[in-house]
Structure 1
Amino acid sequence: MNTTAHRTVATEDHTAACADPLGVSAAQDRGALLEEQIAGDPGRFRVLTGDRPTGRLHLGHYFGTLHNRVRLQNLGVEMYVIIADYQVLTDRDVADNLSEHVEDLVLDYLAIGVDPARSTIFTHSAVPALNQLLLPFLSLVSVAELERNPTVKDEIAHSRQSSVSGLMFTYPAHQAADILFCKANLVPVGRDQLPHLELTRTIARRFNDRYGSGSVVLPRPDALLSNAPLLLGTDGGKMGKSRGNAITLAAGADETARLIKGARTDSERHIAYDPAGRPEVSSLLLLAALCQDRTPEEVAAGIGSAGSAALKRTVTEAVNEYLAPIRSRRKAYAADRGHLRAILREGNERANAVADRTLGEVRAAMNSDY
């Protein structure tokens, strides 16, 4: 390649990187191919996904990630679901009500259809070998790489701590250990999580290059980019567990009606789906549409000029009807807390067996299996 051509290609690459700094376009293209491969041979894939136990899961979680987990599980993909209890401490001084929150996550998982016979549900803190991977992984990344991770920057900006702990900067490497301990080769993520996964891929590549002696010890997992719709909270802001603006899966019908009744809309009487111009109204239309398997435009057409009160009644009916069987199952599972702990014990045992094998392979590659 001549110098001029080389400069042209470099300029084009730089321009593309600036236009799409998170690599979203590439992940979307790769995701379409992955979906075809999953449909053809789901057994070749192993997924790692999970949540931090900081409160009950809500409809944003459900339509964002939970529904997709059940879909992949039912297709035959091997699923590991981590309850990341240690990661609660990354942005909090104290992990309040941790045991209750862990059990609430298990309840939500079971209620939506996660099957512990086909999906391994486990807690981060119960798998010591997983955490031992953190040290060699940290040796493979620089402080600068950890500091410039955009997700870490965002977590620091919204941290509840009076000062940021060292644990915050290890967050990306900790997530790499979560993913690689079970040799997951597929990780469903949102756009904001792509930098974390890219660092996981970097850690796996560097480990293989440094210690693999030509073999692949750790896989480089692919991102399965979520096409999840953006649902706003009832206050028009980002939906969150601690913001008081979310409808949880555990909420009753009356509580759901109260929350939706108080949701922010606008003064226009005619209801139309316009995410850019009318985000709050559009988010409610989208929520009803997801629950009714319709388009937001169809829901809006049915309401017409009846105003926001009719919109809220439509959404309330749609959400309560959709959540009724999930709530019923959740109530039944909640009656036997011992069963929840048994599921965790069994999941922890399976996860430990996998983590021990992976750690053994890592130690052997590093010549430290003495």
Structure 2
Amino acid sequence: MTDSSPLPVVVSGIQPSGTLHLGNYFGALRQNIALANDESRREEAFLFIVDYHALTTLRDAEALRRYTMDVALDYLALGLDPEKASLFVQSDVPQLSELTWIFLCLTPTSLLEKGVAYKDKVAQGLGANGGLLTYPILQAADILAYTSPGRGLLVPVGADQKQNLEISRDTASRFNQTFLEDAPLFPLPEPFILDEVSVIPGTDGRKMSKSYGNTIGIFDQGKALKKTVMSIVSDSTPLEDAKDPDADNTFALIRLLANDDEREEIAASYRAGGYGYGHAKKELIRLIDRQFGEARERRRELAEHPDRVRAILEDGAAAARARASEVMAEVRDAVGFLNPRGRSGQSAPTHLLNW
């Protein structure tokens, strides 16, 4: 029997805080692109670069512009079809700021203080600013601003990130119960995972993360790639001895890139002995080159035509603003604003600013 339920809207954001790495690819980018390009599995797809979020830690204007463009280049080079999905920059959708404020007015302060990222910063003795404190509510606005009547919201996430949606679900429920209990506006967003990928190890064995400085860039190549891969931490088992592939950081990455036959052959070589970690690292380099070689060429070509990339982002932002404006008209009406349609994307009249 064919499922006749309405197809969902897909939403996903990624922060432009540095060079994207294999953890980003296998944890998010790959599945975002696959789902966004497959029109049989969703109604619409909104993929965005969350530069507002980046401001919680980044204080370099040129770096933010560069990182934002880099994420757009990466998405397009890796195969995202801008004719099938809206790719845009978060700060080009001003409705998000208004929706965030409305959500914040419904959010208990105690809930914000329990935020994982905020608590981690405080525990580390680092400056936790107001943006970091309210980060989860802006994230909720990111997700819920593109609601479509009668359709669910799917948020592609890595297998270890399902809990990140809980505050968004709580926020949607709180708004519905407060203002629209009889006819809820916001569906509860659901995580959507195409592949159950475990935590991607970095070069030091911890979760691959820019904050740990243990990443392998998606578009690293040549000497830079070799240097990084050869630095992957391994144990001191002699070359001639048998090794356990499942206990090795290099093989954990090989597993993601190799096909079934290659994976079994390499694992057998580990167990047979006479196969060193250096051999495995060279194989990993080969697999990375194979996986991303064509994308590297596309990225080089795109980087030579930045105006084309900006045009794609502008088109995506226009589609996002149109949807967010429809949602905000419903929100403004529900909370009791005098003008439900508002003045989306425009400044308020100066005579209304005398407060």
Structure 2 counterparts to residues 157-176 of structure 1, below 5 A: 157=123, 163-176=127-140
Distance 1:158 1:345, change over 3 A: farther
1:209 aligns with 2:202: no
> How far did residue 190 of structure 1 move?
3.6
Say yes or no: does 1:302 pair with 2:274.
no
Other-structure match for 2:314:
345
Shift of 1:272: 2.0
For structure 1, the residue ranges without an aligned partner over 5 or more in a row are 1-35
Counterpart Cα distance in 2 of 1:336 and 1:324:
20
Match 2:145 to one of 181, 194, 214: 181
Alpha-carbon distance in structure 2 between the residues aligned to 1:369 and 1:190: 41
Other structure's SS at 1:214 match? coil
Secondary structure at the aligned position of 1:69 is classed as helix
Partner of 1:257: 226
Counterpart selection for 2:282 from 305, 309, 313: 313
Aligned mates of 1:102, 1:129 — CA distance in 2? 20
**1:247-293 deviation per Cα after TM superposition (whole angstroms, max 9, x unaligned):** 2122123321221122211111333223xxx3xx2x31122222122
- 1:156 and 1:50 mapped to 2: Cα distance? 25
Correspondence for 1:100 among 66, 70, 88: 66
Task: State the shift of 1:95 in Å.
Answer: 5.2
- Structure 2 vs 1, CA of residues 195 and 138 (structure 1 numbering), >3 Å: closer, same or farther? farther
Letter of the 1:180 counterpart: L
TM-score by structure 1 length?
Answer: 0.81
How much has 1:41 moved relative to structure 2? 6.6
Match of 1:196 in 2: 164
Match of 2:352 in 1: none
2:119 matches 1:153? yes
Query: Which residue of structure 2 lines up, in the alignment, with residue 31 of structure 1?
Result: none
- How many residues align structurally? 325
Q: CA deviation at 1:302?
A: 3.3
Cα-to-partner distance string for 1:197-253 (whole Å, 9 max, x where unaligned):
111111111211211151121111112256223221113233123544222122123
Q: Equivalences for 1:31-110 in 2 at 5 Å?
A: 44-76=7-39, 77=42, 78-94=44-60, 97-110=63-76
Segments of structure 2 that go 5 or more residues without pairing to the other structure are 340-355
User: In structure 2, how many angstroms separate the alpha carbons of the residues matched to 1:291 and 1:220?
Assistant: 34
Is 1:247 the counterpart of 2:216? The answer is: yes
Structure 1 residue 138 and structure 2 residue 104: aligned? yes
Is the alpha carbon distance of 1:329 and 1:72 closer, same or farther for their aligned partners in structure 2, counting shifts above 3 Å? same
Residue identity opposite 2:295 in structure 1: I
The amino acid across from 2:266 in the alignment is: V
- TM-score w.r.t. the length of structure 2 is 0.84
AA aligned to 2:226 is: A
Greater share of residues in helix = 1
Deviation readout 1:94-115 (Å, 9 max, x if unpaired): 5551111111001100111111
2:95 is equivalent to residue 126 of structure 1: no
Aligned-residue CA RMSD (Å): 2.4
Residue type at the aligned position of 1:185: L
Structure-1 residue corresponding to 2:297: 328
- The verdict on how the C-alpha distance between 1:298 and 1:45 changes in structure 2, with shifts beyond 3 A counting, is farther
| CA distance in 1: counterparts of 2:141 and 2:7, whole angstroms | 21
Name the structure 1 match of 2:348: none
CA–CA separation in structure 1 for the residues paired with 2:13 and 2:4: 23
Please report how far the alpha carbon of residue 91 of structure 1 lies from its aligned counterpart in structure 2 after TM superposition: 3.2
* In 1, Cα distance between equivalents of 2:4 and 2:312: 28
Identity, in percent, stands at 34
**Distance in 1 of aligned mates of 2:169 and 2:335:** 19
Q: Counterpart amino acid of 1:217?
A: L
